Amino acid sequence: MLKIINGKEIAQKIYSELREEVKILEKEGRAPGLAVVLVGSDPASQTYVRSKERIAGELGFFSKVFREKEDISQQELQDLIKRLNQDREIDGILVQLPLPEHIDEKTIIEAIDPYKDVDGFHPLNTGRLFSGQRDSFRFEACTPLGIMELLEREGIEIEGKKAVVVGRSNIVGKPLAHLLLERNATVTICHSRTRDLAKETREADILIAAVGKAALITGDMVKDGVVAIDVGINRVDGKLTGDLDFDSVKEKAACITPVPGGVGPMTIAMLMKNTIKARKYHGV
């Protein structure tokens, strides 16, 4: 029987758990502190930042949003991050991507204190993940972490399963593959140069689509009983849709995430979870 995984519902359960953690941390001295840096006026970025700001407030975080002009210089942005790195009230720093073209994104990410890098993009954090350093303190990228949380909370077995990740971005595809490997899945990463994508996806017990191409994966490209996770966010005829052709894939899937309401809410939930993790690391 098909199970449509409700990411929004799972995220709300996580927030209930996190509120209790925040109360404990407040009694110990202070609430977690999150700084979000937004450069420019990109509508999608503004929407994401408002959501993060609202949820941080609901959880009882100390939250600051820095809305900077589009023409901020590279040096000015680096100086802001340096100040936030040194601010003892701030445990987590998030720079909303994408940045304007004149800003070197890589340099900005590397400027963030890796122990405040709640997005999980700093080379120290990705390096510790890619080298399998489970025992070292690290942050994992929020979307892959959210997917792993979804699978775990839905009781989906990962060990020994064939997981196919379609997409090789540094934000989703690559870190997700490593998280799956740590859970003893057999992992295949597919991308735009994969010669026979359908052949690979039909072998998947767990299929994650993270490309950003609407309806890329259709029902004839998956096997019966697949767990289908859709990370894609595409706008078609004014409506949000994912990388899975939902109607055809759901006919074969055991579990499937919708767009919207699947992986998206989990990404913000994991950002909040990472911020609490950072607060515990930094102490009072």
Give the pLDDT means over successive 10-residue stretches in the chain (284 positions): 96 98 97 98 92 97 97 98 98 96 97 98 96 90 98 98 97 97 98 96 98 97 98 93 97 97 97 98 93
Does the annotation count 52 as an active-site position?
Answer: yes
Give me 35's structure tokens: 């700084």
Q: Active site residue: 91, 117, 119, 243, which one?
A: 119
Backbone angles phi, psi at 69, to 5 degrees: -70, 155
- pTM for the whole thing? 0.95
Q: Which domains does the chain have, with CATH numbers?
A: 30-113 (3.40.50.10860), 142-264 (3.40.50.720)
pLDDT for 55? 97
Is residue 119 among the annotated active site residues?
yes
Residue with tokens 């001295």: 29
CA distance 168 to 220: 23
Across the beta sheet with 33-39, the strand order is: 62-68, 33-39, 92-95
Cβ atoms 243, 216 nearer than 8 A: yes
Which pLDDT value is given to residue 216?
97
**Largest Cα–Cα separation, the chain:** 56
**Cβ atoms within 10 Å, residue 98:** 12
Confidence (pLDDT) at 132: 87
Active-site residue flag, 78: no
* Residues in a beta bridge with 35: 64, 93
Q: What's the pLDDT score for residue 1? A: 85
Of 91, 96, 117, 243, the catalytic one is 96
